[in-house]
Structure 1
């Protein structure tokens, strides 16, 4: 039976446009290639009949779903092998388009978290595996440039009793050398989640969020990334940087604490505003005309034994130097959101990963945004 998931009957700005039949969706990455607008949804797991509900259970040997925008809807056009996909990122390198997946594990219990994460390359409209990278509990890739150097940062690691790793198991940055990714710098985080690369005053910074290690903003010193400012000792989930009103801003999500907006004072980021309580996992920022909008996606409350998955996530608008909530919308184990424009309209696709009874078969939702009502 299809689980229709939550619907918000009082929506004013967000109206449901399409549902996508996903299972443990961990990302909603919108990107463009020469043949149009695409969406890729990495999936964590599928439900195993008879298996007790467990947000860390299920069959991990699943596919990522690849869609193309056709006739004002997303149409599934491919499925790419992608065991326990936690994240997907597209990037261009050497004139080609790539899709990098962070793969958490394989199997259906017991699981193997030493996995070769998959990097696909587009080749005449087909996606082929270009390279595999040894990873341990991989969570997110982040592609960025520092001057003429090309990097791919990997958030990874787990500290679950009984798990061992064949490599160092720490979050790491790779550099593109002769067409291949080579390990450049090990940062040391033991359960990484997220990255954000940004520049302020000509300096490169790299935000890194971690669950059991400190969440830190690093600064490039010309040779490597060095710790610059710590934001939380534990439970970090994501960073997002933007510029507005002549200032530099950084949003930080913490799963077991407040999400917080910080402002750059010329040397450090200072706390400026709370962006809501526990449960925050991911941000999406977009502009419409002169307006600035922020989405905070909420995941769960509580730990794996008894998580609450049916939460409200928020749409904010920038007003007088602060973000104000202009609408809340329901998510069920929400993990990601991506804004896009198509056919002269604004949309937001939201990845939902868990039902209220902690099963994986939960629809992800594409909303149309009536931003004129904001």
Structure 2
């Protein structure tokens, strides 16, 4: 300190102060001169700055100026201004990270995290564990019609986007971009009775596929769109024959790209084939690879457990009843084979997730229609766990839901959550959708109840502004974004 402190009578006087039990050095001038010392005077027997060196300090700053090159600690080459190492502090303001800043440190005072620049982005070194405190209403998003699905995705060098599957064919569907900390309409795409969107990439190409009911040449078709880099828009790329398509799932196995569609029904027949398509790298098109018999298919999900690849379908209705089985398939010898049939009741969604090395599947059960019976909407949805001994999924927990249409799994710090889309209880679409927190042996317990109207789909996403949830409404033009407040 004697090497670093200014001599007596210097323009930057110093004094010892105490604040809440901590003693420190105050630089009294309005613009404090930097404290510095030459390494050669300290490390007299070293020709290089040591690879392991500790400097412990507590810095208390009343206000932080957001200057791009302001450091609270830096190491420079002696005799020059060439920066070797620097530590910046800001109030949640992310400084630039490029090759010039590679190896530099940044401390986020608000987020309580320490990051290092790798030449492209800031990578986490230390981060305080966040916990969900409460959920607040953040944005009212008025879409062009009722919205049956939202898909949140990123495009490199462009930012965060959201695709809304709008029900009304007259208005089409909207692509929204995260601008000024909210979603703003970016592009409108002509769709017919859009049910869902799926984003995927192949090599460096970015695609969106919509499950919709385009009628061309006497058949129903869904459309794949590709991101056009020069025009910065999605443009039509390929159409595929589908039958009242409800959902698409994209996945890769052994460097091969696949798409699978959930064909719900053909005319009045619900027991039809859903189709797996495979990308042909020569023709640059998707081609039929395999068909699987489904009953009112509503959703596909792909997941892996160790070296094994799985597909699970949500079968909703077989033409008589919703009390039917949904099927889990496993990839064997170049195709999907039946792995397990799971009892479901009007299944509309599967959500695979892992917690502490354990693998789970949550199914959303929507409606109980016995054979030629009356409908019941308030029924249990179920979380299944993979039993490694029996190599089957077994019932782990039943959760009462109300015509559940979607599950979304998300994390905040070390905490794990499920949020359900409750859409209807038989008399009203104004229902609370519920956030459940993982509590180990107790399973998932309710912690937040969110007022929703005709809730159809949940998506979670994160930006520099924080963590968020967005839900779409199948009964209103109003979709909503919620902010997850942490502590």
Which TM class, normalised by the smaller chain length?
Answer: 0.7 to 0.9
Pairing partner for 1:369 from 433, 438, 455 = 438
Name the residue aligned to 1:287.
Answer: 354
Name the residue aligned to 2:366.
Answer: 299
SS at match of 2:207: strand
Indicate whether 1:89 and 2:151 are aligned.
yes
Instruction: After TM superposition, list the pairs within 5 Å mapping 1:39-118 onto structure 2.
Output: 72-82=133-143, 83-93=145-155, 94-105=157-168, 113-118=169-174
| 2:295/2:316 contact within 8 Å kept | no
Deviations 1:77-119 (A, max 9, x none): 11111221100111111331111100112xxxxxxx3331111
Pairing partner for 2:244 from 176, 179, 191 = 191
Q: Under a length normalisation based on structure 2, what TM-score does the superposition of the two structures give?
A: 0.57
Deviations 1:308-344 (A, max 9, x none): 3222111111112221111111111111111111253
Q: Under a length normalisation based on structure 1, what TM-score does the superposition of the two structures give?
A: 0.73
Cα 1:316–1:133 change in 2 (3 A) is same
Pairing partner for 1:124 from 172, 180, 195 = 180
Q: CA–CA distance in 2 between the matches of 1:227 and 1:306?
A: 39
Name the residue aligned to 1:331.
Answer: 401
Q: CA–CA distance in 2 between the matches of 1:283 and 1:362?
A: 21
Corresponding pairs, count: 294
Which ranges of 4 or more aligned residues in structure 1 deviate by more than 4 Å? 164-169
Name the residue aligned to 1:134.
Answer: 190
Cα 1:317–1:95 change in 2 (3 A) is same
Cα 1:276–1:171 change in 2 (3 A) is same
| 1:217/1:227 contact within 8 Å kept | yes
Q: CA–CA distance in 2 between the matches of 1:173 and 1:276?
A: 33
Instruction: After TM superposition, list the pairs within 5 Å mapping 1:1-374 onto structure 2.
Output: 72-82=133-143, 83-93=145-155, 94-105=157-168, 113-157=169-213, 170-178=221-229, 179-213=232-266, 214-222=273-281, 223-232=284-293, 234-256=295-317, 257-302=324-369, 307-320=375-388, 321-357=391-427, 359-373=428-442
Aligned Cα RMSD in Å? 2.6
Q: CA–CA distance in 2 between the matches of 1:343 and 1:149?
A: 32
Cα 1:165–1:73 change in 2 (3 A) is farther
Name the residue aligned to 2:20.
Answer: none
Q: CA–CA distance in 1 between the matches of 2:217 and 2:291?
A: 29
Structure 2 stretches lacking a partner, 5+ long: 1-93, 95-109, 111-129, 267-272, 318-323, 444-487
Q: CA–CA distance in 1 between the matches of 2:344 and 2:415?
A: 31
The CA deviation at 1:71 is 5.8
Name the residue aligned to 1:40.
Answer: none
| 1:87/1:140 contact within 8 Å kept | yes
The CA deviation at 1:246 is 2.2
**Structure with greater Cα Rg:** 2
Name the residue aligned to 1:55.
Answer: none
Q: CA–CA distance in 2 between the matches of 1:192 and 1:361?
A: 27
Cα 1:180–1:285 change in 2 (3 A) is same
Q: CA–CA distance in 2 between the matches of 1:143 and 1:328?
A: 31
Q: CA–CA distance in 1 between the matches of 2:366 and 2:413?
A: 30
Higher relative contact order (CA 8 A, sep 6+): 1
| 1:236/1:255 contact within 8 Å kept | yes
| 1:260/1:274 contact within 8 Å kept | yes
Deviations 1:236-295 (A, max 9, x none): 111111111421111111102421111111221111111213411101111112111111
The CA deviation at 1:356 is 2.5
The CA deviation at 1:190 is 3.1
